[in-house]
């Protein structure tokens, strides 16, 4: 068991960073596993980045006396946090996180600025809006989310010095399975990400991402550019990627247990927020939740893509304006405007 423990909890710079997905059915303990990896990474003096969600599961770090810096993208408005109720319909109890011990809230405008200002000896929770937003179109929001994370990873690769651990829960939001990566997202996730992942390893970035299975995430992450797979309870084993692991062994794992490189071990349950944070209710089934609204910038320049296509069809293939109009679903008069724009 020792090699796996060393690899996960005392990563050696001789090997460099890693790209490691953790796979497991809901409740198998993935988020807790990421938390444990984060706690150990802080001990190894890594700078830790945690992908933030409205579920605020980073509270587990606070429960274990680790400092958390929440970085909200500047397009986030009305940021609030509350403690959920057991009864439906009861007024939520809002809490001001910024005044709590070991929690600080900051803002960032762009990826480079964020990476320059990341705090050491703290978990840097990065809230990028764009997933499950009420405002704006799904397409615009999700593209903003993915593009911003790609920019953050680029900025991490380009930094000078230091060891980084990136803990990415719900990895499918960022890099979903191949079939779901379409249009402009294809450029980001299918074309740009693989090269970035290869560089991340060489630049001492340890990237761990959680998902239910390989069907949720892009194959660059589980097949091409990764250093193996961490299986937790009842994950579907990919026999061609990890022939040493038997499906029955994975099915028999309990919560918190995992198999990696053929070795079986477990992630311990860290101290839980409800029992170790004094301002949290001292009972299970109460969680801290975030709410915000966001005006995500539209980074999809639809018009430009159409313009490029129109120009190519016109110049290189000799299409008429009418024919281009048919291809792009636009009126002919708009095609002539597009070509001369």
Ligand X SMILES: Nc1ncnc2c1ncn2[C@@H]1O[C@H](COP(=O)(O)OP(=O)(O)OP(=O)(O)O)[C@@H](O)[C@H]1O
The residues, any chain, with a CB within 8 Å of residue 295's CB and separated by 6 or more, are: 75, 77, 135, 136
- Closest-CA residue to 127 (of 273, 280, 292): 292
How far apart, in whole angstroms, are the C-alpha atoms of residue 248 and residue 271? 30
Residue whose C-beta lies closest to ligand X: 256
In angstroms, the CA 73 to CA 127 distance is 6
Rounded CA-CA distance 319/334 in Å is 15
Q: State whether residue 292 is helix, strand or coil.
A: strand
Site for ligand X in 236-255 (CB under 6 A): 255
Nearer to ligand X, 22 or 114 (CB): 22
CB of 283 to ligand X, least distance (A): 13
Phi, psi of 321 (to 5 degrees): -60, -35
Picked from ligand X, Mg ion, none, the partner binding residue 329 (CB below 5 to 8 A depending on kind) is none
The residue range among 6-14, 19-27, 135-143, 190-198 that interacts with ligand X, by the rule CB under 6 A, is 19-27
Neighbours of 37 (CB within 10 A): 23
3-state secondary structure of 249: helix
Q: Which does 26 bind (CB under 5 to 8 A by kind): ligand X, Mg ion, none?
A: ligand X
Residue 29 binds which of ligand X, Mg ion, none (CB < 5-8 A, kind-dependent): ligand X
For Mg ion, which is the closer residue by CB, 31 or 47?
31
Interacting residue with ligand X among 24, 130, 176, 228 (CB under 6 A) = 24
Residue 150 interacting entry, from ligand X, Mg ion, none, C-beta within 5 to 8 Å by type: none
Q: Which is nearer to ligand X, 24 or 136 (CB)?
A: 24
| Cβ at position 287, least distance to ligand X in Å | 10
Q: Contact letters (x/-) for Mg ion, 22-61, by CB under 5 A?
A: --------xx------------------------------
Instruction: Please name which of 194, 169, 181 lies closest in space to residue 142, comparing C-alpha atoms.
Output: 181
> Which residues are registered as beta bridge partners of 263?
260
Closer residue to Mg ion (CB): 125 or 335 = 125
Number of neighbouring beta carbons within 10 Å of residue 199: 16
Enumerate binding residues for Mg ion (CB under 5 A): 30-31
Which chain residues interact with ligand X by CB under 6 A? 24, 26-32, 255-256, 266-269
């Amino acid at each position: 068991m020792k090699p796996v423990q060393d690899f996960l909890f005392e990563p050696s710079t001789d090997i460099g960073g890693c790209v490691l997905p953790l796979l497991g059915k809901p409740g198998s303990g993935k988020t807790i596993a990421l938390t444990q990896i984060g706690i150990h990474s802080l001990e190894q003096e890594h700078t830790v980045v945690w992908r933030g969600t409205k579920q605020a599961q980073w509270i587990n770090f606070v429960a274990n006396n680790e400092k958390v810096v929440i970085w909200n993208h500047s397009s986030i408005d009305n940021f609030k946090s509350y403690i959920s109720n057991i009864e439906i319909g009861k007024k939520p109890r809002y809490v001001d996180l910024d005044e709590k011990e070991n929690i600080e809230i900051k803002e960032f405008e762009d990826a480079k600025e964020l990476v320059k200002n990341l705090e050491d000896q703290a978990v840097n929770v990065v809230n990028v809006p764009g997933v499950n937003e009420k405002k704006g179109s799904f397409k615009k929001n999700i593209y903003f989310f993915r593009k911003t994370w790609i920019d953050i990873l680029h900025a991490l690769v380009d930094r000078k010095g230091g060891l980084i651990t990136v803990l990415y829960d719900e990895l499918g939001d960022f890099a979903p399975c191949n079939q779901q990566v379409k249009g402009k997202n294809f450029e980001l996730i299918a074309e740009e990400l693989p090269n970035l992942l290869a560089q991340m390893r060489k630049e001492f970035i340890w990237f761990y991402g959680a998902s239910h299975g390989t069907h949720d995430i892009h194959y660059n992450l589980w097949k091409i550019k990764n250093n193996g797979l961490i299986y937790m309870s009842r994950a579907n084993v990919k026999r061609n990627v990890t022939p040493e692991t038997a499906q029955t062994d994975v099915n028999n794992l309990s919560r918190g247990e995992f198999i990696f490189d053929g070795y079986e071990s477990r992630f311990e349950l860290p101290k839980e927020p409800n029992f170790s944070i004094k301002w949290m209710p001292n009972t299970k089934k109460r969680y801290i939740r975030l709410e915000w609204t966001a005006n995500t910038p539209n980074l999809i320049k639809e018009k430009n893509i159409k313009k490029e296509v129109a120009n190519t069809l016109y110049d290189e293939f000799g299409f008429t304006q009418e024919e281009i109009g048919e291809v792009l679903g636009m009126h002919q008069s708009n095609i002539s405007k597009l070509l001369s724009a």
